[in-house]
Amino acid sequence: MMCSRGRILIVAVCAALLPASATAAGATLDSTRPTVVCSAGVCVTHFRAQISGTQSTSWKLPYQRAGAADCYHVPYVSGEGNQQIRFAGSGLVEAKRVGHNAPTFSYLHQGRSRPGIGEGHAGINRVGHRVKHVENGPCGPSHDPDYDSFSECGSQSHHWTYQLESPQRDRVALSGDEALGSLASGATFTYCPLMWTGITGVGDLGYLYDGFSEKLPAGDLFNREFGKIILLGHRSFADPSRSYSGITGKTRIQWTVSLTRVAHRRFPIGR
């Protein structure tokens, strides 16, 4: 059975896979069935997470005057650029809830527990141009060619870790950032900035924007009848009131996080 709750898709587990007798009292550390264990106000369950998505940012600087003119030179400037991020990852996740607090997520990797829901690859491609134009002055032609001040655009490859945070009750936000010790390869972007993104505070950074959340009720997360939960995130940001020197921009983000409930020996980690 599949049902939809806003941006959540839920698939119920077949009764043969998850019988009603798989309760907290009946589950063991060596349980082979996907289940939810609750004891002393603490509930624990495990998922296999699959993460994928894209983030696209574009900006445009309209043709405009750029500084003082002289007899032969009247300066103008224009520009445009965009950045595309494609990312994916996976992980074996433990979700835990203590009392009525927001759930926390950690993933198992090489025998260790780490904050987050998994890790994987992120590819970033950026192009941009900020071109200086010189028009003729009243005394004659300038003979100055157009000059593009941007360089070091191109592609980067990152290894990201992914987090599910709970900024408020029954909601989660996905974030992704560079894993510790993982070095970006490819273009540096030092002289290829995002001039304007539509998102305050992001600037030149090439990471997953996590400034919005999607609904995920804790009652669904720890409902043993729900074998798979699919979270769908989608937002667009553009605010002309924040434009700088006429620059406009927009960022579009979409991601999918699939949580498939699985059996795991450790209820909970560290027990």
Model confidence pLDDT, tens digit, residues 165-176: 998 889 999 998
Q: What is the dihedral of CA 201, 207, 212, 218, to 10 degrees?
A: -140
> For the chain, what is the domain count?
1
Does the pTM surpass 0.85? The reply is no
Residue 270 belongs to some domain of the structure? no
Instruction: Find where tokens 């030092």 sit.
Output: 190
pLDDT of residue 177: 83
Residue 20 belongs to some domain of the structure? no
Q: Which residues pair with 254 in a beta bridge?
A: 54, 234
Residue 52 belongs to some domain of the structure? yes
8 Å CB contact between 163 and 109 = no
pLDDT of residue 9: 73
Name the residue among 199, 204, 205, 215 with its Cα closest to residue 253. Answer: 199
Residue 23 belongs to some domain of the structure? no
pLDDT of residue 179: 73
Range of the domain at 202: 2-14+31-261
Backbone angles phi, psi at 246, to 5 degrees: 80, 0
Region 264-268: mean pLDDT is 57
pLDDT of residue 265: 65
Residue 271 belongs to some domain of the structure? no
pLDDT band, very low/low/confident/very high, at 271 (cuts 50, 70, 90)? very low
Region 81-101: mean pLDDT is 94
Residue 167 belongs to some domain of the structure? yes
Considering only residues 25 and 32, tell me which one the structure prediction assigns the higher pLDDT. Answer: 32
Does the pLDDT at position 21 exceed 80?
Answer: no
Ramachandran quadrant class, 40 (left: phi over 0; alpha: psi -120 to 50; beta: rest): left
Residue 236 belongs to some domain of the structure? yes
Does the pLDDT at position 241 exceed 70?
Answer: no
